[in-house]
Amino acid sequence: MLWIRPFDNLPPLPSFPHRTRKVTTSTRCQGRVYVLRSFLITIDTEGDDIWSRRSSAETRNASFLPRFQSLCENFGLRPTYLVNFEMATDRGFVEFGRDIIARGAGEIGMHLHAWNSPPIHPLTSDDARCQPFLIDHSDDEIRKKIEFHTYLLEDVFGVKMLSHRSGRWALNGIYADALREFGYRVDCSVTPHVDWRSTKGDPGGAGGTDYREFPEQHYWMSTRNIAIPGMSSLLEIPMTIINRSPAFLSKATEVCKNITDLPDRARRYVWPLEWLRPTGTNLRSMLRILDTAILQDRPYVEFMTHSSELMPGGSPYFPTIESVEKLYRDLNELFSQVTKHFCGSTLIEFHDRVLRPCSDN
């Protein structure tokens, strides 16, 4: 029996219809993958200002999410909220999430911060400060934490968890195996072109995951190597990150990568990677990413933010009321452009549109 915090004033869990997958003529293929062009909104739904590394997590940002959800719905967009432990045990967010599921207005998925997600077995002298990756833990601990958090979310929200993003973007083969074991169909932890190895969780650990050799676009993840396409049941939907540095420089830094990272750092200084993630100063960059996706005929773009970034003071990027108001002005402009060329989809809806070679039926 899983322990979860009681919610005295919540309405009873509604009865949710069984998910059915529809394949229409517009999504059928002739021996190849075909998808509709989708705009995927992902929100790492977690406690307030995780960047400050406090010893305890607060969840005030949950009360700021209805405004964001309303904006998305006004544009016909369907967010996926990837939820960690403290938000899964916040009464206000649970009520909000249940309403989204009941109305079919979005998706609830899983996001796991290893340092405060049960079962708790400290890995460092101060896990709240170090924020160790889940991949810093033993294989058995990885599985136990995924098991606990998956069942917690399913108990609280009354639906199967199908989509996932790792905490601090860290993933390995053991982690992916456990996701498949517990029925996940989508992961969105991969950040193409980014090497997280210099970012530490456990100070004695190997750091984060090196994604420089990973695909830029979605693929069925191999069971042998998470960096290559295969035939597993787990669809990887990498974060949309555009590398605008000249190709010859990319090749040159690749040659040097096992000797020194100085050429790569110099390249990134001149041509920083462009993420589809708002910072308060990058509206032009995000609009340029949309143009690139259309020009390259990409089947999706994936936008991300953190729930706490929608609250004044919830992150280093949006510390004031005015900074959040500017964020919403930027989002309004971005979403206005999105609706001209993309359709809004949750992660699992995109998964359901991605078809392997089709039968004659």
pLDDT digits (tens, 9 = 90+) for 271-284: 689 999 999 999 99
162 with 192, same domain? yes
Q: Say which residues have a Cβ less than 8 Å from residue 240's Cβ, sequence separation at least 6.
A: 275, 276, 289, 293, 300, 301, 302, 303
Q: How far apart are CA 271 and CA 244, in angstroms?
A: 6
Query: What pLDDT score does 134 carry?
Result: 98
pLDDT tens by residue, 134-180: 999 999 999 999 999 999 999 999 999 999 999 999 999 999 999 99
262 with 346, same domain? no
Number of Cβ atoms within 10 Å of the Cβ of 60: 15
- 293 inside domain: yes
206 with 266, same domain? no
87 with 174, same domain? yes
By CB atoms closer than 10 A (0-12, 13-18, 19+), residue 260 is: exposed
Provide DSSP, 170-209: ---HHHHHHHHHTT--EE----TT-B-TTS-SSTTS--S-
258 pLDDT above the threshold of 70 = no
Tokens at 269, concatenated: 């200084």
25 pLDDT above the threshold of 60 = no
SS3 state of residue 162: coil
- 360 inside domain: no
125 with 191, same domain? yes
What CATH number should be reported for the domain holding residue 84? 3.20.20.510
209 with 100, same domain? yes
- 16 inside domain: no
263 with 229, same domain? no
Mean pLDDT of the region 125-131 = 97
Q: How far apart are CA 187 and CA 133, in angstroms?
A: 16
Decide if 18 contacts 168 (C-beta within 8 A).
no
Query: What pLDDT score does 20 carry?
Result: 39
Report the amino acid identity of residue 243: N
105 with 186, same domain? yes
89 pLDDT above the threshold of 80 = yes
2 pLDDT above the threshold of 60 = no
Domain count, the chain: 2
78 with 137, same domain? yes
pLDDT tens by residue, 218-251: 999 999 999 999 999 999 999 999 998 766 556 5
By CB atoms closer than 10 A (0-12, 13-18, 19+), residue 18 is: exposed
Query: What pLDDT score does 264 carry?
Result: 62
216 with 292, same domain? yes
Query: What pLDDT score does 245 carry?
Result: 74
Q: How far apart are CA 234 and CA 189, in angstroms?
A: 12
337 with 199, same domain? yes
Query: What pLDDT score does 5 carry?
Result: 43
142 with 266, same domain? no
Domain range for 219: 29-50+57-240+276-353
